[in-house]
Structure 1
Amino acid sequence: MTGKQAIPGFGGLKRAATMAVLGLGLALAAPAAMAQDVLVLAAASTKNAVEKLASQFKAKSGATVTSSFAASSALAKQIENGAPADIFISADLDWMDYLQQRNLIKTDSRVNLLGNELVVVVPKGSPLKPDLSKGGKLADQLGDGRLSTGDPSNVPVGKYAKAALEKLDQWTAVEPKLARADSVRAALVLVSRGEVPVGIVYRTDAAVDPGVEVAAAFPPDSYPPITYPAALAASSKTPAAAAFLDYMKSPDGMAVWKEFGFVPAPKAP
């Protein structure tokens, strides 16, 4: 017999082998499809907690969470200007409302995630005890120094600080001595380095910087309840983003927030 002898069933075996290889490829590709990057734009005060949550989420899901932290105002403007984002976490309701009014978040995903407290910090070891009494003399205590906080025109911590000082009849005297920072963490650094004698930040920020200590806490009724809303960005197409948002508000996620000093979101009035 001349020529190659046909092997019975060879074509079927070849097809089966090809399908097996394709199937293996799909099986290997499936985890990769799940392990999509999630981009989070989050208020500066959430940095330490979000980074730990991201690490835990990657261990559970394989998805990498990349985060960018700044003042909520700056992040909202970035999203408005077309910056890519999957999740936005704001330190106040106003900037989330700003994006919602422009159809830049998925409204049905929006949730009030966290709460916080407003405190006064001083450099570690400072003897200064800020006067937060009604009509007190905080401005006089500053002497030639300045008070750092977020810019009250747009940074949430600065807006809360202004509201509290107005309630205590101290805003007019303190305003000329403000060091207006572009985020709460920037305000914190000024105190930690001893560049200013006093700062107004969130309690959670004070807890992560060993260079400062809490010298006083504002009365809770002196400023609007601090609320951190979170939502999916309207442009997000990453399935893992919704999963990460769910994880952040799950019991395991809330345990991490609590570890860093955050409290449950205030109840809506």
Structure 2
Amino acid sequence: MNARLKLIFGVVVASTLSFSSFAKEQITVFAAASLTNAMTDIGKQFDKTHDTDTRFSFASSSTLARQIEQGAPAELFLSANQKWMDYLQQQHSIDSASRITLLHNALVMIAPQARELPAVVIDAKLNVVGLVGDSRIAVGDPDHVPAGRYAKESLETLGLWASAEPLLARANNVRAALALVERGEASIGIVYATDAQISDKVKTVAEFPSSSHKPIAYPVALTSSAPSPAAKALYDYLQTAEAKAVFAKYGFKVD
């Protein structure tokens, strides 16, 4: 090797070693869309003290679960319901021993902030058609999205599903349903209480009776694809008082 090549080789090696010494360990987290704000804040908080680079994929729990099953490189999964965590556990795609229920939420009806409405009580006497008018009810698609599944279960329990189903504007996730109401493209929406809380363009009209649907629980688990020590540290961090304070700030119910 001549002197010039040795010099170039030395510079490349030195640069590589220098980069490696400062490179942060990356963590990949898949989380339900309703966790976007809370988990983004928690990720930033965690990275400051752990020299990590936490990256998120936010979508409906069903979409994320299927991606994980197909080999997507997630190390940590937070679902908006137990069903999709059950699915991954059956597929041996998560570390079952790490699975815990982390949070709870509530289901609410929302409307655009400017819309004037009389007091609404969500019970079997609710006139859904009259409430919606010539618009639509924005909701996560009940066939795939946990928020939509809870909405369908509640409406069925209350005997309102038959009148509500033809009026649904089915969104890919709960944040997309929220956006439809924010833009005035739907006069009514059904979302989580935490989604309503983060928007100044909508107002909560009423809360669905908790007895009309299964508890809205958010399980978390490490995946079975050999998560890194950093991912395990983040999993532990989600259970600390610091992380729980952030979840509570965004309206989640924590133990």
* SS of match in other structure, 2:243: helix
Q: Is the 8 A contact 1:85 1:236 kept in 2?
A: no
The reply on whether 1:70 has 2:59 as its aligned counterpart is: yes
Deviations 1:138-174 (A, max 9, x none): 1222122110111111110000000111111101100
Following superposition, the deviation at residue 131 of structure 1 comes to 4.7
Q: Distance in 1 between matches of 2:170 and 2:125?
A: 22
The reply on whether 1:122 has 2:111 as its aligned counterpart is: yes
Query: Hey, what does 1:58 align to over in structure 2?
Result: 47
Q: Is the 8 A contact 1:103 1:234 kept in 2?
A: yes
Give runs of aligned pairs for residues 102-181 of structure 1, distance below 5 A: 102-129=91-118, 130-181=120-171
Choose the corresponding residue for 1:88, options 62, 71, 77: 77
**Unaligned 5+ residue runs, structure 1?**
1-24
The reply on whether 1:215 has 2:213 as its aligned counterpart is: no
Following superposition, the deviation at residue 220 of structure 1 comes to 1.3
Q: Is the 8 A contact 1:45 1:184 kept in 2?
A: yes
Deviations 1:88-131 (A, max 9, x none): 00000000000000000011111100000000000012112445
* SS of match in other structure, 1:234: coil
Following superposition, the deviation at residue 214 of structure 1 comes to 0.4
Q: Is the 8 A contact 1:131 1:137 kept in 2?
A: no
Aligned length: 237
Query: Hey, what does 2:218 align to over in structure 1?
Result: 228
Deviations 1:6-55 (A, max 9, x none): xxxxxxxxxxxxxxxxxxx8xx95x85xx411100000000000000000
Q: Distance in 2 between matches of 1:237 and 1:161?
A: 34
**Unaligned 5+ residue runs, structure 2?**
1-16
Q: Give TM-score scaled by structure 2 length.
A: 0.89
Q: Is the 8 A contact 1:112 1:229 kept in 2?
A: yes
Deviations 1:180-231 (A, max 9, x none): 1010000000000000000000000011111111011111111110000000
The reply on whether 1:41 has 2:30 as its aligned counterpart is: yes
Q: Give TM-score scaled by structure 1 length.
A: 0.85
Q: Distance in 2 between matches of 1:201 and 1:237?
A: 32
Larger Rg: 1
* SS of match in other structure, 1:122: strand
Query: Hey, what does 1:188 align to over in structure 2?
Result: 178
The reply on whether 1:263 has 2:246 as its aligned counterpart is: no
Letter in structure 2 aligned against 1:220? S
Letter in structure 2 aligned against 1:67? F
* SS of match in other structure, 1:236: coil
Query: Hey, what does 2:14 align to over in structure 1?
Result: none
Q: Distance in 1 between matches of 2:33 and 2:227?
A: 24
* SS of match in other structure, 1:227: strand
Q: Is the 8 A contact 1:131 1:138 kept in 2?
A: no
* SS of match in other structure, 1:66: strand
Query: Hey, what does 1:17 align to over in structure 2?
Result: none
RMSD of Structure 2 on Structure 1 (CA)? 1.6
Q: Distance in 2 between matches of 1:237 and 1:170?
A: 44
Q: Distance in 2 between matches of 1:229 and 1:78?
A: 17
Q: Distance in 1 between matches of 2:173 and 2:127?
A: 26
Letter in structure 2 aligned against 1:182? N
